[in-house]
Amino acid sequence: MQTEVLRVLRAEAQSWWRHREFRRTGDLDEARRQEWQTIRRDLGYLRKALSNPNAYVSCGGGGTILHLGLTSVSLYAPVECFPLACLAVRLGTPLIDCHPDRDIIAFADLPTVTMDGAVDPEPWTSSSQVSLLTYLDAAESLGTRIINDPRIDRAT
């Protein structure tokens, strides 16, 4: 799996227009340096996603977001066009698919997921912080689809 992750990240880095332009103009050293810098950054994002129990990916009509706590990585595209998010999901990060949800206002009013473990007491507002498991329960009640659901492990 490690080789596949690196292969995907390298292909993504090489596809960037800026890196292709360096290659086109003959500046191969700069292209390689920029590509490896991009790969190292994306590996850092993947490590954060796998080490943080409250990290998750969300996708909907507004694109795809990899939520990592104080950092988020987003792209205005479906999850399948966002290799970093695809890798995170393939490696076990939960994915919240908001496409089935038609009440986007209710979804926006959900509390945020805590990244430091501090959970606010009920009643929750959109500025409250809750655990990922509580957030998944609330999101699922609105009709979203959950992939890599960590609650399944909890039930056994």
Tens of pLDDT along 26-59? 988 999 999 999 999 999 999 999 999 899 999 9
Of 79, 82, 81, whose CA–CA distance to 145 is shortest? 79
Query: What pLDDT digit, counting tens, does each position of 77-134 carry?
Result: 888 889 999 999 999 999 999 887 677 788 888 888 887 778 888 888 888 889 899 9
Q: Following CA atoms 107, 49, 81, 94 in sequence, which dihedral angle do they give, to the nearest 10 degrees?
A: -50
Cα–Cα distance for residue pair 99/52, rounded to 1 Å: 25
Cis preceding-peptide flag for 94 (omega within 30 of 0)? no
Q: What is the pTM of this model?
A: 0.84
Q: Following CA atoms 25, 28, 30, 31 in sequence, which dihedral angle do they give, to the nearest 10 degrees?
A: 90
Measured at the alpha carbon of residue 30, what is the angle toward residues 13 and 11, in degrees to the nearest 5? 15
